[in-house]
Chains A and B, each alone.
Chain A
Amino acid sequence: MSGKGTGKPDASGKQSPVKKKVKIRKDKKWVEVDVDGEVKKGRFKYVKFVDDDGLDTYWISPE
């Protein structure tokens, strides 16, 4: 999962915003991801993050 948004200063000295961490159920395991946002579609809610394959991904929210 993307490790962006740690809240630590980057190379330019600016502090990146702290991202919300959410645990999702993926490949039969709980995985913690840093989410970039949430989207409501139909009767489901999805959290957005960049997955290991580099694709913008919207995963069903456990909440």
Chain B
Amino acid sequence: MPFSTIQAHLAYGADWRDPVTNKYCTSDLSNCIVGAGRAIVTATSPGCESNGTCSAVSPYCNTEIAVYYDGTGVNKSGFNIRWWYHIGASFYKYPLFALSLDGGRVDTFLTHGTPASAYVLRLVDINTYLPLSSLWFPYIKQYQYGTEYLAVAEYTGGFRKVSLYHCVDINQWIIGVVGYLFTAESSPSAIIPLDYYNEYVKYQELRQAFAYSYSGLDQHGWNADDMIRVLRELFPNRAWAVFDDRQNILYLYNLSPDYVPDWLIDKLAPTAMKVLKAPADAAVAKAWLDLLNERNAQIPPQAELP
């Protein structure tokens, strides 16, 4: 069984390179001063949801904010996750963000009463790595609107689902970045760049059918035939490809090999390509290629113009 490495940064009101200082919600939650992405506020009323800068969630612990990976429907496992938070908000004893594995309650490494709370209670210095807790706080810093802190944690083992939970009191806000890196069973793959916001329903349907990687480039599943069947149903007029790594065949829909980039062939090394449907419209095939190139971080340098 081949594996894929999945890495992502999720911005909640601040980009990864953007300090959380001076990013905040006003005390009446009428406005959020944020950077990239939506901040999260815990409120019984929508708060600054109305101006489009925040998403309101119900307060208190153990509310699931997002699901980052779910292989439960297809019995696909992830392994060995490392994650980190760069967060700004008021903070005491409890984690603002915590990853939950397999639907368990908030990550025990980060919950009050475990070794991790030793950091928050200042029983150990920050910058000290606690091996038994697999947790490391590089810094906790007070600033005008709350506390900024960076935590790094890791879990060595298998899991089927990774969710993001929050654990904060009412009328607090979560501004920061979550990053994670893990390995997951990966075959076969549908290769169809999707727009998360504009194609949300289809996106979710694919995600539930095949499990999911956050890259947006590939959705993982067990059976290439099932994947092709669902993609034909959902995207009859789009271009897409399915790589069946059991037979090592790359299936092309509304595509021909002319539109498959060399880097993808070098990466997948398919024994064969099979054309399920020749491109009816060159623009559709070209759009797939352009989006794929755009999202591929390994695009070779383009030749310089003469």
* Chain A residues within 8 Å of B, Cβ to Cβ: 39, 41-44, 46, 51, 53, 55-60
Contact = CB atoms under 8 A, between A and B. Distances in A.
Contacts of A43: 265-266
Given A55-B274, A56-B275, A59-B271, A46 B263 contact: no
A56 B274 contact: yes
Contacts of B262: 41-42
A39 B271 contact: no
A57 B272 contact: yes
A55 B276 contact: yes
A46 B266 contact: no
The main secondary structure of chain B at its interface with chain A is: mixed
Contacts of A55: 274-276
Given A55-B276, A60-B270, 5 more contacts: A41-B265, A44-B265, A44-B269, A57-B275, A58-B257
A58 B265 CA distance: 12
Interface residues of B, number: 16
Interface in B242-282: 257, 260, 262-266, 269-276, 278
Contacts of A53: 274
Contact of A58 (B264, B273, B278): B273
Interface of B: 257, 260, 262-266, 269-276, 278
Contacts of B269: 44
B263 A59 contact: no
Given A41-B262, A41-B265, A46 B257 contact: yes
A58 B266 contact: no
B240 to A, nearest CB: 16
B265 A56 contact: no
Given A41-B257, A41-B260, A58-B257, A46 B278 contact: no
Nearest to B270: A60
8 nearest A-B pairs in the assembled complex, by CB-CB distance:
A42-B265, A42-B262, A42-B266, A58-B273, A56-B275, A41-B265, A59-B272, A55-B274
B274 A46 contact: no
Contact of A60 (B271, B275, B276, B278): B271
A42 B278 CA distance: 21
20 contacts: A39-B257, A41-B257, A41-B262, A42-B262, A42-B263, A42-B264, A42-B266, A43-B265, A43-B266, A46-B272, A55-B274, A55-B276, A56-B274, A56-B275, A58-B257, A58-B273, A58-B274, A58-B275, A59-B271, A60-B272
